[in-house]
Structure formats: structure tokens, C-alpha cells
Amino acid sequence: MNDYNNLHLHWKKSQKEFNRNLELLKQKLHTEPIHDIRVAAKKLRAFWDLYILLKKDPEPEYGMSKTKFLFDVLGRRRDVEICLALTAAFEKDAKGSCKEWNQYLQSVLKITGAWVNKEIHNYQKKELAQIAFLLKQDNSLGNPDQFSNDLTAIINAQLEETKKHLRQPHLVRKCLKKIYYWISLFPDENTQESWYPSELHDLLDDLGNWQDQTILAIRIKHFRKDYLPKSFEEYRLLKDFENKTNEHKKLLLKTANSKVKCWMKKVMVTP
């Protein structure tokens, strides 16, 4: 194996981070390792997607189905934690209490906690180890110049595809997040900086906050309309919370869209 193989090196680094947080979660469910293991899983998925594109193999022998399933279950728990945190901020600002809403969230937190605990202990690391071995053995990844050229071509192709979906912010976020992780694979810092990764990170933060507010608004509306009696005083408070959340969403999306267009204009090659 060529010592360069940056894809394998980054895979092993993220795999180590994934496994570390997996062990922490086996001991106790906590917000930070849930966040960190999902970040590690996103990186691993991005690296695997890149490898499939590099090899032009739409149906690879290995896959990440079990890791993706765990990621999705962890996401359900993470959504509730985000709703609780944003609710606490709203209550402080509004000087009010969303007692019924908080009780509902705590009950869902308990349910999702049971799901996470089960899947964390059932999860097998085999599929990640298989892919790590595959990447390690692939000598075609060891030429830095060829890898850099191929990576550049793939990123540009992905950006062209992303341009078609600018009205779908969730999809844009998903695509740009992958590209953000791919940029770290370039062999030198100057090439990495030519993609303005700090600006990309900033706009991804805005899209991430937009996503959090979107989930919150959906969850509030569902609880308020389907469960909470209209006669409760909290009904009006939650309606106000929902309205403020939707307003914040619009502002975040407007800002994020502007940043996306600006960043893409900087990095995309003009024919």
C-alpha cells in the first residue's frame, strides 16, 4: 500500500472516533457522544460515497446499511434533544412555561432512549472494518496527483448537480456537507483553501440551524393541533412559539441561500 492513501487514513480516523463514542454510549446515553458519533458516521458515509464514485461502482460488494440504521435511530433521539434545548431558550425569552410540551418531549426522549440503547448494544462493527481493509488494499488510491484530479472532477460534478436543487435546502445541505468532508482529503492545504472551507462551514451551520428550526416547527404543530386542548393557556403560547420558529426559519434560509450562491460562484469552474 502506498503511504499516501489519504482516503484510508481519514476513514481510519473517523472510524476510531465512531468506535470511541459507541463505547461511551454503551456506558451512558449523553448528548455529546450522540452528536459526535453521528458526525463520525456522516464522514464515513461521505468517504464511502466518494470511493463508489471513484471506482464507478453503483453496486459495491460492501455497504453501510447497519451503520445507517443506527445513525437514523440516533437521529430520532437527537431531534428530541434539540427540541428541548430550543424550547428552553424560548421559555427564557418569553418568560413563560411550556409545561405540557416539555412533558411530551420528555416522554418521547425516554422512548427514543430505549431504541438507541438497544441498537447501540446490537451494533456490530464488522462492516466498517471490511471497508477499512478494502481501502487499505486499493493501490489506485496511492497516487496523490491522480487522486486530487479525480476528487476535483467529482466535486465539480456534484456541484453541477446541486445547482439543480437550490430550492430544496435539505438536499443542498446534504450534498454540501459531503463536499465539505471531501475537501479535507486534498493532499495539500493550499488546494483545500482554494475551496473556501471556512465559508462552506459557515453556510452549513446556517443550513443546520434551519434544519433544527424546521424539525421544531413540525413537532410543535403536531403536538399543539393533535394533542393539546385549545382551552389550555399553553395552546396560545405554543402557537406563538411556532410562529416565531417559522419566522426564524425564513431568515436563516434567506441568509443561507445567499451564502450558498456566493460560495458556489467562487469555487465553480466557468466553462
User: What does each of the 271 residues of the chain score in pLDDT, given as a tens digit?
Assistant: 456 799 999 999 999 999 999 999 999 999 999 999 999 999 999 999 999 999 987 677 788 999 999 999 999 999 999 999 999 999 999 999 999 999 999 999 999 999 999 999 999 999 999 999 999 999 989 899 999 999 999 999 999 999 999 999 999 999 999 999 999 999 899 999 999 999 999 999 999 999 999 999 999 999 999 999 999 999 999 999 999 999 999 999 999 999 999 999 999 865 4
Q: What are phi and psi of 3, to 5 degrees?
A: -65, -20
pLDDT at 268: 86
Q: What is the pLDDT of residue 271?
A: 46
Q: Would you say 18 and 48 are in contact if contact means Cβ atoms under 8 Å apart?
A: no
**DSSP tag of 59:** S
Q: What is each CA distance from 165 to 9, 53, 55, 128, in whole angstroms? A: 32, 20, 25, 31
> What would the grid cell of residue 246 be?
417559522
| Interatomic CA distance for residues 77 and 80, integer angstroms | 5
Q: Are 144 and 187 in contact (CB under 8 A)?
A: yes
Residue closest to 46 by CA, chosen among 193, 176, 143, 144: 176
The beta strands (E) that lie in the chain are given as none
The DSSP code sequence of 67-78 is HHHHHHHHHHHH
Give this prediction's pTM: 0.93
Total number of residues shown for the chain: 271
**What long-range pairs does 214-220 form, CB within 8 A, spacing at least 24?**
214/170, 214/249, 215/79, 215/82, 215/83, 216/82, 216/83, 216/86, 216/87, 216/245, 217/242, 217/245, 217/246, 217/249, 219/79, 219/83, 220/101, 220/245
Contact 157, 258 (CB under 8 A): no
Please tell me the distance from the alpha carbon of residue 26 to that of residue 121, in angstroms, as a whole number: 7
